């Protein structure tokens, strides 16, 4: 099995994609036993630069030497979203403890600490319901703009805990992280935004104040998963801000790189999407969804040969997942569009044997067979379509591709929850030293 190497090519600005100077950077070849990284700079003649020739249909790529090249951008690209300042708690844990004037500020602090005491006993489901009851009651009859008073009261407790033990903040981070989708599901958008802000601020605070590589990675994981959920919810600007923030602490964060690439892809900015996917494959060269998305975007950029190589690698692997199914669809389509209908039929037939419930594969194969003037085989394939689709239990591969990086979100969330559970005793020692359900005094 070949392992994809990665390289990048960025061109000078201009409308003519074939004109100007051509630069090759980040050339990388990944072998089976080692990863070689080098930079190769080639300057073409100033009059005209040749586009890379497509890989011939009959040519087999050399083992362990796949090279990915992104063509120059043929139009100006808008800058990525700047990181939003409201996610950063200025001053960190050493911020002055001057209490701002809240209405019933002490009640807010006491109520929030009661939630954290319940959380520290391990009753997570009860704690999140208690948080919902507390925060909705705190905002009852108030304008959405007044939610800052609730935020400041909770931050006062969070900073006090962090000053004594910064690791105690991880379970609190996980609580607010989980509250974000809960508020979205229950139709409370303003408090959902508050939950996202608290969780992101906690992640930033822990990443900065933890002082270790582990704290930075964990903070980035939380920021990235918050960003992916915002992306899945359709809040594009917030999603980009959170995921870009995650890369400040962990430039190789898988979820953030994949999520940012997906946002660009949905916006039609395939060149910038490919650049972010290139970063992902540099640190995670065998990432299946990343390789699939790279193939799709390279094809959109006219790099059909490279796209085909990536897709052939994916379908040659034994993993049976939606990525493999969609790779068969894309590879069969590439062969059909190139006029290689025999090869398209073979690829799609092989895919259908491995993924018999994929209705899209069945439809594509029937279309190719019909084009080859094999109506009987085409009808036989299409007649089984209804049964195949009715037996499918998961969303279609194309649907999963369009939704976004759900698997990366689940993996990041699972890692955060595991870290929170390991640190729960540290939170309990601060907010519940007696082991009961009554909140202790301020730390």
- Per-residue pLDDT tens over the stretch 311-324: 999 999 999 999 99
Flag whether pLDDT at 7 surpasses 50.
no
Angle of helix 213-232 relative to helix 236-249, nearest 10 degrees, comes to 170
Strands 35-37 and 28-30: antiparallel
* pLDDT tens digits, one per residue of 333-370: 999 999 999 999 999 999 999 998 888 998 898 888 87
Report pLDDT for 43: 30
Report pLDDT for 14: 37
Q: What is the mean pLDDT of residues 240-266?
A: 95
Q: Give 221-259 as a DSSP string.
A: HHHHHHHHHHHHTT-HHHHHHHHHHHHHH-TT-HHHHHH
Both tokens of residue 78?
């808008």
Mean pLDDT score of the chain, rounded to an integer? 80
Report pLDDT for 83: 65
Pairwise CA distance, residues 382 & 367, whole Å: 9
Both tokens of residue 10?
């960025």
85-282+419-431, CATH topology level: 1.25.40
Domain ranges of the chain: 1-76, 85-282+419-431
Beta strands in 26-129 (DSSP E): 28-30, 35-37
Flag whether pLDDT at 35 surpasses 70.
no
């Amino acid at each position: 099995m070949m392992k994809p190497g990665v390289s990048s090519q960025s061109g000078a600005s201009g409308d003519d994609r074939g004109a100007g100077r051509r630069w090759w950077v980040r050339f990388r070849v990944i072998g089976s036993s080692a990863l070689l990284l080098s930079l190769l700079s080639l300057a073409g003649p100033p009059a005209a630069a040749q586009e890379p020739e497509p890989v011939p249909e009959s040519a087999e790529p050399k083992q362990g030497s796949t090279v990915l090249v992104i063509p120059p951008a043929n139009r100006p690209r808008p800058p990525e979203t700047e990181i939003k300042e409201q996610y950063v708690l200025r001053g960190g844990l050493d911020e002055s403890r001057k209490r701002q004037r809240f209405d019933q500020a002490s009640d807010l602090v006491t109520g929030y600490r009661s939630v954290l005491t319940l959380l520290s006993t391990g009753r997570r489901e009860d704690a999140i319901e208690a948080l919902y009851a507390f925060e909705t009651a705190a905002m009852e009859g108030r304008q959405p703009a007044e939610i800052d008073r609730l935020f400041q009261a909770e931050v006062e407790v969070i900073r006090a805990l962090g000053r004594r033990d910064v690791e105690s903040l991880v379970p609190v981070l996980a609580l607010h992280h989980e509250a974000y989708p809960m508020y979205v599901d229950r139709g409370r958008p303003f408090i959902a935004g508050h939950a996202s802000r608290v969780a992101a601020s906690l992640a930033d605070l822990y990443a900065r104040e933890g002082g270790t590589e582990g704290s930075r990675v964990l903070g980035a994981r939380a920021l990235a998963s918050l960003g992916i959920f915002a992306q899945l919810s359709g809040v594009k600007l917030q999603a980009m801000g959170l995921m870009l923030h995650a890369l400040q602490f962990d430039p190789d964060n898988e979820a953030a790189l994949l999520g940012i690439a997906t946002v660009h892809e949905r916006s039609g900015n395939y060149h910038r999407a490919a650049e972010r996917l290139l970063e992902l494959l540099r640190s995670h060269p065998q990432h299946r969804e990343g390789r699939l998305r790279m193939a799709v975007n390279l094809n959109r950029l006219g790099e059909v040969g490279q796209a085909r190589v990536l897709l052939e690698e994916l379908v040659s692997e034994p993993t049976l997942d939606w990525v493999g199914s969609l790779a068969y669809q894309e590879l069969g389509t590439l062969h059909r569009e190139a006029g290689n209908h025999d090869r398209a039929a073979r690829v799609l037939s092989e895919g259908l044997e491995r993924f018999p419930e994929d209705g899209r594969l069945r439809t594509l194969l029937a279309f190719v067979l019909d084009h080859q003037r094999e109506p009987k085989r085409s009808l036989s394939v299409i007649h089984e379509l209804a049964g195949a689709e009715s037996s499918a239990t998961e969303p279609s591969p194309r649907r999963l591709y369009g939704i976004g990086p759900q698997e990366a979100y689940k993996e990041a969330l699972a890692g955060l929850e595991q870290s929170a559970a390991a640190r729960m005793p540290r939170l309990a020692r601060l907010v519940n030293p007696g082991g009961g359900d009554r909140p202790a005094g301020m730390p």
